[in-house]
Homo-oligomer: A and B are copies of this chain.
Amino acid sequence: MRKEYLLTPGPTPVPPQALLAMAQPMIHHRTPQFMEILKEVVEGLKYVLRTKGDVFIFASSGTGAMEASVSNLLSPKDKVLVINAGKFGERFADIAKAYGAEVILLDVPYGEAVSPQVVEERLAKEKDIKAVYSTLCETSTGVVHDIKSLGEVVSKTQAALIVDTISGLGPCDFRMDEWSVDVAVCGSQKGLMVPPGLAFIAISPKAWKLAEASKLPKYYFDFKMAKAAMDKNDTPFTPAVSLVIGLRESLKVLKEEGLDATLMRHKKLAGAVRAAAIALGLELFAKSASSNAVTAIKAPAGIDSEKIVKLLRDKYGVWIAGGQAQMKGKVFRIAHMGYMAEPDMLIAVSSLEMVLAELDYKFERGVGVKAAEEVLSK
């Protein structure tokens, strides 16, 4: 008998009420029935993003919405600052380059958070920077950036602040309007607890001004077409109907818990995993600013992290993630985002102990679980 336990940083487990809602017979989208659902979902997204601005839903992965935040805001040769502290920072740079922007890379060592002061200095030196691209939680390293301080810095300039909140939204504190974020990019399969296939964009008035002036080509991800449709509770192109219906259920779960409680739950789960890792003598990849969404842990010397991931999945049905790009083989990542509760962390830590023992890593069995229990009991 196989039983699976999903602890990856996206896709994440989907609440059963959302799964069942998505298994309902299909309905058509250009109808009062679906428009009502769309309206409710957009309101729910505004609640989670803490914004009163426009929010659009695309049928795409999060990367599609990242691209939208480039193609809708920029014109060829525009100068942009990209904070590069992991795989998803890199992706923003790749997209901006693909669209002919002039990219200034602000390299931050992987595992560290960006310094808002360095961004401020850079913006003071290069006043023609049009946009600053950052992630909230860098899923590849488990680091969360200080978006509040970045917002203070960027909002004083002409530049717009674009934040990839794909893995951070829900687990990590995020306040779009209060923090002066201009574009938030989000996806469905992380803290929002639905399968992948939906992306979201939230847009501030400052970002709209850039969008008005943008000369890059776009169509499927065009903000103006999305706005014209969304003002009528519609989408310009066929939406991913079943996923939107699932999202309605997941948003209900989040609303019922309340954003502050959601944040505290994730903080506790993250703390338990980190305490366990340290008790097991392992090193966290994030030097500081650890994210509530995912913890990246360095594999012990001499052990390939891919081996840990594979053994956990194949032998125990526990799905965690390995390292991405330059971190492949070096780190493994345990997610604590979305539809996750305390026992899930005990599954993660105890099965990790079993696998580490099998791989001949020397430690005292049970110390990881003990440390996790202590955090969860507080």
Assuming the A-B contacts A59-B59, A217-B71, A218-B98, are A240 and B197 also in contact, with contact meaning beta carbons closer than 8 angstroms in the complex?
Answer: yes
Query: Cβ of B14 and Cβ of A25 under 8 Å apart?
Result: yes
Query: Cβ of A4 and Cβ of B25 under 8 Å apart?
Result: yes
A12 part of interface (Cβ distance < 8 Å): yes
Query: Cβ of B23 and Cβ of A6 under 8 Å apart?
Result: no
A187 part of interface (Cβ distance < 8 Å): yes
Task: Report the minimal beta-carbon distance from A347 to chain B, rounded to whole angstroms.
Answer: 14
Assuming the A-B contacts A62-B238, A196-B239, A238-B10, are A22 and B25 also in contact, with contact meaning beta carbons closer than 8 angstroms in the complex?
Answer: no
Q: Which residues of B contact A6 (CB under 8 A)?
A: 25-28
How far apart sit A71 and B216, CA to CA, in the bound complex (Å)?
12
A47 part of interface (Cβ distance < 8 Å): no
Query: Cβ of A11 and Cβ of B31 under 8 Å apart?
Result: no
A363 part of interface (Cβ distance < 8 Å): no
8 Å CB contacts to B: which residues of A119-142? none
How far apart sit A216 and B222, CA to CA, in the bound complex (Å)?
16
How far apart sit A218 and B62, CA to CA, in the bound complex (Å)?
15
Query: Cβ of A28 and Cβ of B8 under 8 Å apart?
Result: yes
Task: Report the minimal beta-carbon distance from A16 to chain B, rounded to whole angstroms.
Answer: 9
Assuming the A-B contacts A23-B22, A98-B218, are A196 and B238 also in contact, with contact meaning beta carbons closer than 8 angstroms in the complex?
Answer: yes
Which chain B residue shows the least CB distance to A11?
Answer: B26
A148 part of interface (Cβ distance < 8 Å): no
Write the A231-249 contact mask toward B (1 if CB under 8 angstroms, else 0). 0000011111111000000
A95 part of interface (Cβ distance < 8 Å): yes
How far apart sit A94 and B222, CA to CA, in the bound complex (Å)?
12
A319 part of interface (Cβ distance < 8 Å): yes
A63 part of interface (Cβ distance < 8 Å): yes
8 Å CB contacts to B: which residues of A49-69? 58-64, 67
A29 part of interface (Cβ distance < 8 Å): yes
A-B contact pairs, 14 of them (CB 8 A): A6-B28, A11-B238, A22-B23, A28-B321, A58-B60, A59-B59, A60-B64, A61-B240, A67-B219, A70-B219, A94-B219, A98-B218, A187-B238, A189-B241
Give 4 nearest A-B pairs by CB, closest first.
A197-B240, A23-B23, A195-B242, A63-B237
